[in-house]
């Protein structure tokens, strides 16, 4: 019965939502026309009731008739989040994911925890949590596009480490509110639990601290231990750890320790875990242990609300017509939307002119990036080989003739610089080379650019060509 219900539900919502909210449900028993299902947490239950009650009811009635009843069993929350019983009836993809976690902990692959807390002097850790209280839940407006992420964030703030959203991974494009939400969670936790140590850190800073700890102070372990002491760790833009093996390794130990001790981890990324490149598999799989919630581009109504609330906060009034124009034309990035508002206000106060549609159009046209499509590796190869007057086959060939090798290296260099492709993928597309060859090419081009003027000129000319 449950499977037929699922089928019906699956046909009526998006795959991502289906995976998130319906796959984890386990049917427990069917008595007369009353079906019991088990859900992973109270939050989960509330979410289902709030958003999917109608859908559930419809699917159940279809199967069991008008007297159909649904009974929820809420699984006791288990801090480590791995309750093998709960994996039983899950579809194989999910099961695999959870099994992995079980095996991992059974085999004791996790790092040994030899009481890392005995560093003298920092038992009562007082650290600056680096939170920005201007980013809070009150001014993080809710909309369809962020509802899941925002609610999960709130749930975490109520019970850090005590929900099944550990880690919470918030992902989405630039300017959609990842950093804001990350701070809001931390700020809220600090308000509710002042005694908890919360730490917000950007991945860049984290990486820099790690490198310093190794190179300047030779105390990598202190670095790791320091992070293991916090109650809530928020790491922004985790995709930036890509390719940084040492930092990833350190983060791995920190993550394991925190997770095992029921501490909360919140991560943000500009990509979904499946699209992250050059991040170790064991980390990627951990990112998926909790909840991955996407921040999508806000819908029109949310954009209107965001504009109005910014204006209200700044005490500025603007005709509806202008607000609507902004919401219609700055769609993909809330940061740009804010930028347009600020710039509009500035223009009007400098020129002492009312904000009218004409001014708005002008300002907005300067603001919204013309959506440029990303170059492909194929296009780059074409431009580079044309520039050096050879064909693409020659560029890809196995020859070691110097000028051909250089052209090939330049193509690799630009592919790395101007596309989001991985080294391995670039190598594959440019004549089936491996990632080390591409890495070498990038370094060579960088070197030559700084030592060889005429070479540098080629590269810069090419860059101009590629950009237009
Ligand atoms: P990201 O980290 O995803 O690039 P940010 O968190 O820096 O994006 O957000 C960009 C700007 O948009 C910030 O000024 C933030 O306050 C604002 N913003 C994003 N989402 C919302 C929202 N839901 N409500 C209000 N402001 C928002
Ligand atoms: Mg950000």
Q: Which of 135, 177, 337 to mutate to test the pocket of ligand 1 (most atoms within 8 A of CB)?
A: 177
Q: Is the CB of 338 under 6 A from ligand 1?
A: yes
Q: Is the CB of 175 under 6 A from ligand 1?
A: yes
Residues placed in the known binding site: 175, 177-179
Closest atom of ligand 1 relative to the 270 alpha carbon: 3
Ligand 2 ion: nearby residues, β-carbon < 5 Å: 178-179
d(CA 334, CA 175): 5
Handedness of CA 336, 337, 342, 348 (dihedral sign): positive
Q: Looking at the CA of 172, name the nearest ligand.
A: 1
d(CA 340, CA 327): 10
Q: How far is CA 313 from the centre of its chain?
A: 28
Give pLDDT tens digits along the chain (468 positions).
898 889 888 887 777 778 888 988 988 888 888 888 888 877 788 778 777 888 888 888 888 888 888 888 877 544 443 433 333 333 332 332 222 233 333 333 333 333 333 334 344 456 789 999 999 999 999 999 999 999 999 999 999 999 999 999 999 999 999 999 999 999 999 999 999 999 999 999 999 999 999 988 778 888 999 999 999 999 999 999 999 999 999 999 999 999 999 999 999 999 999 889 899 999 999 998 999 999 999 999 999 999 999 999 888 888 999 999 999 999 889 999 999 998 898 888 887 778 888 889 888 887 765 555 678 999 999 999 999 999 999 999 998 999 999 999 999 999 999 988 899 999 999 999 999 999 999 999 999 999 998 899 989 999 988 877
Look up the ipTM and state it: 0.99
Q: Is the CB of 382 under 6 A from ligand 1?
A: no
Q: What is the pTM for the complete model shown?
A: 0.61
Closest atom of ligand 1 relative to the 134 alpha carbon: 16
**Ligand 2 centre and the CA of 272: distance in Å?**
15
Residue nearest to atom 20 of ligand 1 (CA): 177
């Amino acid at each position: 019965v449950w499977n037929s219900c699922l089928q019906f539900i699956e046909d009526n919502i998006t795959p991502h939502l289906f995976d998130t909210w319906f796959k984890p449900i386990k049917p427990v028993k069917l008595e007369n026309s009353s079906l019991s299902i088990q859900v992973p947490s109270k939050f989960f239950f509330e979410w289902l009731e709030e958003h999917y009650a109608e859908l559930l009811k419809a699917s159940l009635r279809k199967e069991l008739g008008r007297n159909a009843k649904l009974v929820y069993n809420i699984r006791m929350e288990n801090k480590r989040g791995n309750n093998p019983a709960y994996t039983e009836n899950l579809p194989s993809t999910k099961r695999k994911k959870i099994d992995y976690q079980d095996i991992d902990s059974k085999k004791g692959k996790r790092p040994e925890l030899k009481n890392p807390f005995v560093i003298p002097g920092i038992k009562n850790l007082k650290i600056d949590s680096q939170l920005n209280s201007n980013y809070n839940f009150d001014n993080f407006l809710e909309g369809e596009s962020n509802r899941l992420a925002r609610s999960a964030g709130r749930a975490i703030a109520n019970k850090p480490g005590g929900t099944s959203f550990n880690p919470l991974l918030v992902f989405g494009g630039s300017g959609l509110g990842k950093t804001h939400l990350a701070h809001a969670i931390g700020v809220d936790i600090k308000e509710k639990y002042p005694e908890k140590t919360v730490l917000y850190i950007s991945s860049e800073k984290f990486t820099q601290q790690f490198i310093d700890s190794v190179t300047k102070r030779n105390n990598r372990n202190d670095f790791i231990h320091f992070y293991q002491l916090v109650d809530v760790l928020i790491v922004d833009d985790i995709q930036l750890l890509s390719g940084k093996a040492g930092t990833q390794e350190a983060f791995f130990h920190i993550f394991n320790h925190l997770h095992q001790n029921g501490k909360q981890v919140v991560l943000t990324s500009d990509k979904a875990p499946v699209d992250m490149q050059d991040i170790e598999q064991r980390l990627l799989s951990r990112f998926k242990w909790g909840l991955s919630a996407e921040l999508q581009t806000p819908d029109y109504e949310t954009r209107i609300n965001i504009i109005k609330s910014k204006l209200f906060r700044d005490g500025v009034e603007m005709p509806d017509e202008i607000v609507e124009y902004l919401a219609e034309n700055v769609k993909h990035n809330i940061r740009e939307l804010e930028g347009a508002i600020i710039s509009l206000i500035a223009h009007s106060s400098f020129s002492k002119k009312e904000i009218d549609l004409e001014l708005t159009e002008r300002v907005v046209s300067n603001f919204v990036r013309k959506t440029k499509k990303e170059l492909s590796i194929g296009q780059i190869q074409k431009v580079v080989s044309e520039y050096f007057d050879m064909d693409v086959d020659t560029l890809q060939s196995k020859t070691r003739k110097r000028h051909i090798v250089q052209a090939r290296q330049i193509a690799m260099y630009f592919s790395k610089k101007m596309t989001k492709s991985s080294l391995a993928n670039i190598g594959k597309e440019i004549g089936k080379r491996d990632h080390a060859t591409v890495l070498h090419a990038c370094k060579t081009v960088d070197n030559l650019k700084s030592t060889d003027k005429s070479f540098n000129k080629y590269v810069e000319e090419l860059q101009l060509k590629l950009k237009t």
